[in-house]
Chains A and B, each alone.
Chain A
């Protein structure tokens, strides 16, 4: 590793971590959570980045070659499609397989867990996942224990290792050749989202809240330790970078206040605190609007999260959480898609003026940057923040 690149790496990392710790670095750090936009910028179709691991990495590399940011956005595909093809995943649709070549991948939401599955799930979630869930959502596991299903387990595990290995190698390459750290290490979920997104789906979970609240609470309890472990395992125990937490069903107005207090928050709080005890900070990626819940979120231990602002009232977020927690985000994705570079610049300046003055602020878009963002607007975001965001 060249000492010059290592120096650049340490500078960027230090800038980023200082802000995460609510300190004031030399400049406002730029951390963009980018997915499919990288493919467009690098000239690849979405089918290519979902299926071709090398192009997927190359797309991210192209971004850090051309834009001066503080973290590498990481490879654009959330899922490497061959991994899911190997096991015949029925719950995902990919460009080139089910969709046109430049369509974003899609998740097919259904009740993959039935109301009558609660008891078995609560008794032994891992066993239930192996015996019931995997066969339901993967063609290749349709007959558990069959030769075909056993081969699918081998293929799926091998593909998982290949994918995580390629991404870990890429992170090392970005560090050594470009002086870039990554923005996150590992991920976890709110127990309510594990149950409400993937297993019971929206309709199912909303009915459960009325019809079988005790089962829901018992299932959520079971998920606390599981989700803490998941965060630990996927980050490899990394305590420098935040652990990504994409938040879904807790946004306003999914749940009424009582439901939020009873079902969403207690177990999520336990997971965040459990990880923080192990030194792992959570990137609280609050998709949608979380304004009504800011006071509750402020109960978390100082610095244990980075609060990411999508459509939450950033003024209130800054007032209630600022100084104790780093705040990130808020450049609207619609502005990045449809706005003019001057408008993006003005927006970034306003964010810096109003919320970054005391440090503890990271520039980012409101939501993950997808295929629709305009290149000149991303450039305006980065260049404005670099020039204007100097302490």
Chain B
């Protein structure tokens, strides 16, 4: 997709200062905050595409995350009362016993960039927190992160607890040592080996 909007292009090219000045300029000119968010998301979608094409690496994703965070901080006060439209709700968290959140945060960023409402439960998340969040948000997709094989048994327990509640939800897992064998053993529906996989699975579900 060839971007035409200057702000979207600045995000995709990781020009942080230019992004900030364009956001401020447009707010000052009376552009609705939601419309500005839309342009930022276009830029983020392009960042995700470049990552998938192996033109961007994690270093670029981290930078893009910072740019989005700063821009959203600026926009936040102007978004109050605005009716933001999302493609859908997704619950995400790093499983109990694990405090790693680098991968999870990148996935959150790409999902938000793609237009989803992401309910981020943080790290070391037990079953009941996942279950409560799924019930409250009625999210049809929950994503779980785990870095090492040593913490995967907790993931298995959490998935079993969610299934026991009878919740109609698909489960996506991700982490350094996650593959088909792990997916089968913990009882998940999908596994991702790259940050952009999460967006692909989300787009299938919503």
Q: Which of A16-24, A157-165, A169-177, A251-259 contacts B (4 or more CB under 8 A)?
A: A251-259
How many angstroms from the CA of A253 to the CA of B99 in the assembled complex?
Answer: 21
How many angstroms from the CA of A334 to the CA of B151 in the assembled complex?
Answer: 12
- B105 vs chain A, min Cβ distance (A): 9
- Give the residues in chain B near A357, CB-CB below 8 Å: none
A235-258 CB mask vs B (1 if < 8 Å, else 0) is 000000000000000001111100
A99-B97, A206-B62, A372-B153 known; A253 vs B54 contact (CB < 8 Å): yes
Q: Does B149 contact A (CB under 8 A)?
A: yes
Are the CB atoms of A333 and B62 closer together than 8 Å? no
Are the CB atoms of A333 and B102 closer together than 8 Å? no
Say what secondary structure dominates the interface of chain B: helix
Are the CB atoms of B97 and A254 closer together than 8 Å? no
- Give the residues in chain A near B100, CB-CB below 8 Å: 106, 109
Are the CB atoms of A103 and B185 closer together than 8 Å? no
Q: Does B168 contact A (CB under 8 A)?
A: no
A180-205 CB mask vs B (1 if < 8 Å, else 0) is 00000000000000000000001100
Are the CB atoms of A209 and B59 closer together than 8 Å? yes
Q: Does B121 contact A (CB under 8 A)?
A: no
Are the CB atoms of B57 and A100 closer together than 8 Å? no
How many angstroms from the CA of A6 to the CA of B10 in the assembled complex?
Answer: 67
Are the CB atoms of A254 and B57 closer together than 8 Å? yes
Residue of B66, B152, B176, B178 touching A372 (CB-CB under 8 A): B152
Are the CB atoms of A371 and B58 closer together than 8 Å? no
- A257 vs chain B, min Cβ distance (A): 8
Q: Does B56 contact A (CB under 8 A)?
A: yes
Cβ < 8 Å to A, chain B residues 133-159: 148-153
Q: Does B179 contact A (CB under 8 A)?
A: yes
A106-B99, A253-B57, A339-B181 known; A203 vs B150 contact (CB < 8 Å): no
- B132 vs chain A, min Cβ distance (A): 21
How many angstroms from the CA of A332 to the CA of B176 in the assembled complex?
Answer: 12
Are the CB atoms of A333 and B97 closer together than 8 Å? no
Are the CB atoms of B182 and A338 closer together than 8 Å? yes
B31-62 CB mask vs A (1 if < 8 Å, else 0) is 00000000000000000000100101111101
- Give the residues in chain A near B99, CB-CB below 8 Å: 93, 106, 108
The chain A residue with its CB closest to the CB of B179 is: A334
- A113 vs chain B, min Cβ distance (A): 17
Q: Does B98 contact A (CB under 8 A)?
A: yes
Cβ < 8 Å to A, chain B residues 75-101: 97-100
Q: Does B6 contact A (CB under 8 A)?
A: no
Are the CB atoms of A338 and B185 closer together than 8 Å? yes
Count, chain B residues at interface, CB 8 A: 31
How many angstroms from the CA of A373 to the CA of B149 in the assembled complex?
Answer: 8
The chain B residue with its CB closest to the CB of A103 is: B97
B172-194 CB mask vs A (1 if < 8 Å, else 0) is 00001111011011000000000
Are the CB atoms of B151 and A104 closer together than 8 Å? yes
The chain A residue with its CB closest to the CB of B55 is: A256
Are the CB atoms of B182 and A371 closer together than 8 Å? no
A109-B102, A372-B153 known; A254 vs B59 contact (CB < 8 Å): yes
How many angstroms from the CA of A338 to the CA of B100 in the assembled complex?
Answer: 22
Are the CB atoms of B62 and A202 closer together than 8 Å? yes
How many angstroms from the CA of A371 to the CA of B154 in the assembled complex?
Answer: 12
Are the CB atoms of B60 and A256 closer together than 8 Å? yes
- Give the residues in chain A near B65, CB-CB below 8 Å: 203
Are the CB atoms of B63 and A210 closer together than 8 Å? yes
Are the CB atoms of A337 and B59 closer together than 8 Å? no
How many angstroms from the CA of A108 to the CA of B123 in the assembled complex?
Answer: 11
- Give the residues in chain A near B14, CB-CB below 8 Å: 210
How many angstroms from the CA of A367 to the CA of B175 in the assembled complex?
Answer: 14
Are the CB atoms of A207 and B153 closer together than 8 Å? no
9 tightest CB-CB pairs across the interface, nearest first? A370-B150, A206-B62, A256-B57, A103-B97, A104-B150, A253-B57, A206-B59, A338-B185, A338-B181
26 A-B residue pairings within 8 Å (CB atoms): A99-B97, A100-B97, A103-B151, A104-B97, A106-B99, A106-B100, A109-B102, A202-B58, A202-B102, A203-B66, A207-B63, A252-B57, A253-B54, A254-B57, A254-B58, A256-B56, A256-B57, A256-B60, A332-B179, A334-B182, A337-B149, A370-B148, A370-B149, A370-B150, A371-B150, A373-B149
4 other contacts beyond A256-B60, A333-B149, A338-B182, with CB at 8 A cut-off? A106-B100, A252-B57, A254-B57, A335-B181
